[in-house]
Every structure is written in structure tokens, then in C-alpha cells.
Amino acid sequence: MNNKRVIKICDECESEYFSDTSKMASLCPNCSYHIYGYENCKHNFIDGRCVNCYIDEKIFIKMENTRWK
């Protein structure tokens, strides 16, 4: 059995993310939350990546401080 999770790149913020963590096919859970109101990931960053959805912490912080203000 293959337990590898599929990693995609978000069309909006360009961060990698686990495809099974977002309701949108081409957006990470954070961008799909801010743009469309879908449920967001409960981010837990370790070593620069969210262990739940794999979003890049630097991109997350940049988007929170600029795009989503």
C-alpha cells in the first residue's frame, strides 16, 4: 500500500501543500479559507512547514501580513 501524500503547489501563494488538506483543487487550505471561506488548517509549524497541511511557514507569514490584511 502506498501511503505517500500528494503534494501540490497553490495557484495563489505558490506554497506546496498536501492535496488532501484543501477543499479546492488548486489552492492550499489557507488561501481557500481566505478567498472562499472554506475550513482552514489548524497550522502547527515545525522546521518551517505545517505538519498538518505542509504549507511553508515563510509564505504563510508573508500572506498573513500582506495579502490577507
What is the model's pLDDT at position 2? 62
Average pLDDT over residues 39-50: 97
pLDDT on residue 1: 56
Is 63:13 a contact under the CB 8 Å cutoff?
yes
User: pTM of this prediction?
Assistant: 0.89
